[in-house]
Structure 1
Amino acid sequence: MTSLDKPNTQEQDDDGHGRHARAVTEAALFEAFGGIRGTVETVLPGLLFVTIYTINKDLHVSAIAALGLSLVLVAVRLVRRDTVKHAFSGVFGVAFGVVFAMMTGNAKDFYLPGMLYTLGLALAYIITTLAGVPLIGLILGPVFKENLSWRTRNPGRKKAYAKASWAWGLILLAKCAILFPLYWWADTTQLGWVLVTLKIPPFLLAVYLTWVFLAKAPPPIDVFAEMEEQERAEEARKAAAARDGEA
Structure 2
Amino acid sequence: MTDPREPDPEPSASEMLGQALGGAARRAGLDPSEGASTGHVVWKAMGGWRGVLESVLPGLVFIVVYTVTIDPATGDGALWLALGLSVGIAAVFTILRLIARQPASAAIGGLIAVAVAALFALLTGEASNNFVPGFITNAVYGTAFLVSALVGWSLIGLAGGFLMGEGTAWRQDRRKRRVYFWLAIAWAGLFAARLAVQLPFYFADDVTALGTLKLVMGLPLFAPMVAVTWLAARALYPRRDT
Question: Normalising to structure 1: TM-score of the pair?
Answer: 0.70
Q: CA deviation at 1:140?
A: 5.0
- Inter-partner Cα distance in structure 2 for 1:41 and 1:193: 16
- CA displacement 1:177-229 (0-9 Å, x = unmatched): 100111112421221122222222211221121122123111599xxxxxxxx
- CA displacement 1:33-86 (0-9 Å, x = unmatched): 545542442111111111111122111111111111111111222223322222
Q: Is the 8 A contact 2:127 2:207 kept in 1?
A: yes
Instruction: Tell me which residue corresponds to 2:148.
Output: 128
Residues 111-190 of structure 1 aligned to structure 2 (within 5 Å): 111-139=131-159, 141-142=161-162, 144=163, 146=165, 148-152=167-171, 156-190=175-209
| Deviating more after overlay: 114-123 vs 160-169 | 160-169
| Deviating more after overlay: 85-94 vs 104-113 | 85-94
The structure 1 residue matched to 2:36, chosen from 6, 10, 23, is 23
In structure 2, relative to structure 1, the CA distance for the partners of 1:196 and 1:79 (3 Å cut) is same
Instruction: Tell me which residue corresponds to 1:58.
Output: 78
Aligned partner of 1:200: which letter? L
Instruction: Tell me which residue corresponds to 1:15.
Output: none
Pair 1:204 & 2:227 matched: no
2:36 is paired with a residue whose SS is helix
| Deviating more after overlay: 32-41 vs 97-106 | 32-41
Q: CA deviation at 1:164?
A: 2.0
Instruction: Tell me which residue corresponds to 1:81.
Output: 101
| Deviating more after overlay: 145-154 vs 193-202 | 145-154
Question: Normalising to structure 2: TM-score of the pair?
Answer: 0.71
- Inter-partner Cα distance in structure 2 for 1:40 and 1:150: 39
Q: Is the 8 A contact 1:32 1:140 kept in 2?
A: no
Instruction: Tell me which residue corresponds to 1:100.
Output: 120
In structure 2, relative to structure 1, the CA distance for the partners of 1:140 and 1:97 (3 Å cut) is farther
Instruction: Tell me which residue corresponds to 1:46.
Output: 59
- Inter-partner Cα distance in structure 2 for 1:207 and 1:137: 14
- Inter-partner Cα distance in structure 2 for 1:33 and 1:150: 29
- Inter-partner Cα distance in structure 2 for 1:219 and 1:30: 24
- Inter-partner Cα distance in structure 2 for 1:33 and 1:147: 26
Identity %: 29
1:82 is paired with a residue whose SS is coil
- Inter-partner Cα distance in structure 2 for 1:35 and 1:139: 22
Larger C-alpha radius of gyration, 1 or 2?
1
1:23 is paired with a residue whose SS is coil
